[in-house]
Amino acid sequence: MLVDSHCHLDRLDLAPFENSFEKLLTATREAGVGHMLCVSIDLESYPAMLALVEGEPDISISVGVHPNDRDRQEPTPEQLAALAQHEKNVAIGETGLDYFRSDGDLDWQRERFRRHIAAAKLCHKPLIIHTRAAKADTIRIMQEEGAESVGGVMHCFTEDWEMAKQALDLGFYISFSGIITFNSAADLREVAKKMPQDRLLIETDAPYLAPIPHRGKPNIPAYVEQVAEKIAALRNITRSEIEVITKDNFFRLFLPKKSAN
């Protein structure tokens, strides 16, 4: 089965599915997606996100505050760790650094990132890390705060092999999105080719970053199929093999008790 390791189900456009979340889920499952991780980006919308997916056994969630928006409720590590105790919660994040869409004094971003790492250490759950135009500081803070003790994933990875190796050395997984299909992503495809098999994940980041041939349209979890097919072709293996590899990696990282069953 396919696993979408990072999506935002509470932010999808349901119009193509007759404004029905259940019809979206039915179409997603019919496309072969067997599990999804619905990722939090702020505390304000977290209760509604949880309520939306609470009755769905094939959807897990995370809790965290995205690095871009300063005007959000700032969580404490204790608050995040407490929210992460919910049975559906498997991770802290998304968190990290984004210098591409923010400017000025970004100490607030770095401090928010540190609080998320502290939360992950408190609740012993992995991190979901967003990084853009902030390679050195992202790795430095991960090292300084001991992120390797909990591990996690560098989601929607768009950086170079050097950064990928640094993250791998800290025990992190690397997740590729629909960007891997873009004509401009030749360097990223080289990273995907070099990745150790046991650290590879795939995602959509839906509703953002739809892969070719859907680029420019709202993304949906079913489109993780195009990501799987591209990476299978890059690594000269079958789509079925990529499904098994990325499914096993996902459950090992986020749901190790189910992985062991």
Question: What does the alpha-carbon distance between residue 225 and residue 208 come to, in Å, rounded to a whole number?
Answer: 15
Question: What does the alpha-carbon distance between residue 99 and residue 109 come to, in Å, rounded to a whole number?
Answer: 9
Sign (positive or negative) of CA dihedral 246, 138, 38, 228: negative
Task: Express each pLDDT in 220-230 by its tens digit.
Answer: 999 999 999 99
Domain boundaries, the chain: 2-256
**Is pTM, for the whole model, over 0.85?**
yes
Asked whether the beta carbons of 246 and 3 are under 8 A apart, the reply is yes
HSE-CB at 212 with a 13 A cutoff on CA atoms is 9
Q: What is the mean pLDDT of residues 171-181?
A: 98
Rounded to a whole number of angstroms, the CA Rg of the chain reads 17
Across the strands, what pairs with 224? none
Task: Express each pLDDT in 138-155 by its tens digit.
Answer: 999 999 999 999 999 999
The CATH code of domain 2-256 reads 3.20.20.140
Q: Residue 38 carries which side chain, given as an amino acid letter?
A: C
User: Which segment of 53-62, 76-85, 102-111, 177-186 scores lowest on mean pLDDT?
Assistant: 102-111
Six-digit token string for 78? 């204790």
SS3 151: coil
Q: In what order do the strands lie in the sheet with 89-98?
A: 2-7, 33-38, 59-63, 89-98, 127-132, 152-154, 172-176, 200-202
What is the length of the chain?
261
